A and B are shown apart, each in its own frame.
Chain A
Amino acid sequence: QKEVEQNSGPLSVPEGAIASLNCTYSDRGSQSFFWYRQYSGKSPELIMFIYSNGDKEDGRFTAQLNKASQYVSLLIRDSQPSDSATYLCAVAGTASKLTFGTGTRLQVTL
């Protein structure tokens, strides 16, 4: 049974639009949540993390966490072609381990 679920996509959005990426998790005791971006053939790079319910903003990126619904999302405002990548959601469980979703592929079209 998967512990972190993401829609595989592709999610296609026009340039300048808002991209909304979603993730659900099964472990109600999870405390830390991460979004990584992975370009094709490259390794994952951290975009942002969130620990508390609510929104956290960093530039064009906003992470949203709802622990009651076991739901975390990433919004990308003013999407650019360079945002085209796979976005991985990760959840911290026990002992500093992260459980990753399989990722959502985002395509930003011109």
Chain B
Amino acid sequence: GDSVTQMEGPVTLSEEAFLTINCTYTATGYPSLFWYVQYPGEGLQLLLKATKADDKGSNKGFEATYRKETTSFHLEKGSVQVSDSAVYFCALRGGGSYIPTFGRGTSLIVHP
């Protein structure tokens, strides 16, 4: 079945550092790929998505590129802020399905 593997956290960075959170997936067909963010005590918010190979999703300075050859969708940001501290979930959704498959989440802690 479909699965998503994320790097284990927590990831601890200083403000303005470069961020990479790795995500790889296993799926049949051509899934859509997502990054969600969960701030403390809140639900999930869609951060960005990509629906086909080589698409780049971007939002709020975050980017991720759908790499079919490496089955990856790594999240990057050039300069993190304290306000980016949250848990980030990588997810995929197969064609014709409502239900995403989530990774375990990666906690990001940014220090001033």
The yes or no verdict on A and B being binding partners is no
